[in-house]
Each structure stands twice: as structure tokens, then as C-alpha cells.
Amino acid sequence: MKKNLSGDIATGLLSPALRARFLELFSVASRKSVFAWREAALSRAQVLVLDASTGHIDLPHWPPCVIWVGEQPARWMRASTWVGRLPPDYTVADLIDMLDRAAVFLMDWKARQPQPAFVPVGAQALATGQGADATARYRLASWVALAAPFNGPSYLRALAMLAREAVTVAQLQEHGGLAPEQASALLVELRQRGVLRTQVAAVRPVGAPPTHPSGGAGQRRLVQRLTHWLRGAIRA
């Protein structure tokens, strides 16, 4: 699946042995995360990977995210930085989970940076109170920061799903943990902001066997990872 979102991660401050192991697992984990991750120089990275061997550092501009490998992160780390911790014996699954936590944080962080004024497009059927098409699939064209009540944990999970792939209203309710009226209200809000894309399902001929979309298990794993992020970040 093509990923529309990407992120840069810097590993150059790790000790040589830890960096070699991290990059070995990263080569696999980066392909399975919600972001298309790539290694980059510290000057343009959104995620910095550190461990206890790094020692005290004082950066003029800290990335918004830090992944700490080892025990509790150092106290000298800037308090405003989001920090996630990997255990010393972390696995590929642990790293995928951590990259997804960082990805969801970054999507919201980027959306909250100063941007030019946004002019919403004209409202369509969804925004006029006609409700959502149960057979259609919906997807975010770009991430957007929403005010209350759309900035709670359930809505963040739903937004992450919509950013990852096109989903039906039923999938949004089931895996995002939204009530029907909440899912409809979210879609209306996104449509009014001009960031919602709709894919109308093709009509199946009478008597034709039903099709079963693939990727359900992968989607459930994504939602589980996002749930871990919402509960497991050390600090945000």
C-alpha cells in the first residue's frame, strides 16, 4: 500500500552497536508502520533516537519526538518533547508500535503548526444532513487538527484510520470506537473542512458472489497499535 505520510528519523547519536541493531530492525519495521519512515540527518529529523550512552546533550532545536532505548529516559531531556521508551531487548513488533505512536503524535503536531488560512470547499450531501453512505469508503486527503469534541482518543483513532486507508462508516464505528452519531458528525466536520475523500462502492450484479476486502487483520493491528500509543506514551 502506498503511504502518503512520511517522517525523518535520526539515529546518529546512538552508540555504534546499538545503532547497528536499531537499523537492522528499522529496515523491517519502517515498512510496516503507518508512516513511510526514512533515516535522516539530525538537522531535519522529526524523531531522534537516543540511549544512555549518549550522555548529556544540549540541542538548539529539539525534534518533537524522542525514542529512548533502555531504562528510564534521562532527566536532562527537554520536557516539551514527546518521549517513547523502547526496552533494551526490544523486538521488531516493539519498534513498529513505537514508530506508530510517534507517527500519530507527529500528524497532530504538524497539523497544529501555523498554516495559511484555510477556505473550506462547498458542502456536499454528507454536510447537508443526509448522513453517510453505508456502502461508501472515506479517507483523509490530509491531516487536520480538530477542536473539541473531535480531539479525544476515540476520534484520534478514527482519524488515524482515515489517514491510513479508505474505510466504511461501519469500520469507523467498530475499530475507531465511535457511536453512529459520532462517526457521522466526524465525517460531516471533515467534509466541511474539505479534507474528506469519498469512494463510492460499485454496484454488485444480482447473483454475483460477495467480495471480502483484504487487510482487515492489518487494520485491526493498526488500531491496536494506536490504542497502545494513546495509553503508553511516557509523556506528551
pLDDT digits (tens, 9 = 90+) for 157-176: 888 888 888 888 888 888 77
Q: CA distances (Å), 68 to each of 27, 43, 47, 111, 217, in order?
A: 18, 18, 10, 24, 29
C-alpha cell at 10: 535520526
Best CATH choice for the domain 6-111 from the list 2.60.40, 3.30.420, 3.40.50, 1.10.8: 3.40.50
C-alpha cell at 19: 545503532
Q: How many CB atoms lie within 10 A of CB 88?
A: 10
Q: Which DSSP letter does residue 166 get?
A: -
Continuous segment of H or E residues that includes residue 159: helix 153-164
| 210 burial level (CB within 10 Å; 0-12, 13-18, 19+) | exposed
pLDDT at 180: 85
Tell me which long-range contacts 198-203 makes (C-beta under 8 A, separation of at least 24): 198/126, 198/133, 198/136, 198/137, 198/138, 199/136, 199/137, 199/138, 199/139, 199/166, 200/133, 200/135, 200/136, 201/135, 201/136, 201/137
Give pLDDT tens digits for 117-139. Answer: 433 333 333 533 344 566 788 88
Beta strands at 82-86 and 47-51: parallel, antiparallel or unpaired? unpaired
E strand segments, 75-158: 82-86, 137-140
All structural domains of the chain with their residue ranges: 6-111, 125-232
Q: For residue 40, which of 73, 4, 65, 75 has the smallest C-alpha distance?
A: 65
Q: CA distances (Å), 71 to each of 64, 105, 234, in order?
A: 20, 22, 12
Buried-exposed string 15-52: b where 16+ CB fall within 10 A, e elsewhere? eeebbeebeebbeebbebbbbebebbeeeebbbbbbbe
CATH topology of domain 125-232: Arc Repressor Mutant, subunit A (1.10.10)
Task: Give the Cα separation of 169 and 199 in Å (integer).
Answer: 12
| Residues of the chain scoring pLDDT < 70 | 1-4, 73-80, 113-134, 201-236
pLDDT at 77: 65
pTM: 0.50
Task: Give the Cα separation of 145 and 113 in Å (integer).
Answer: 9
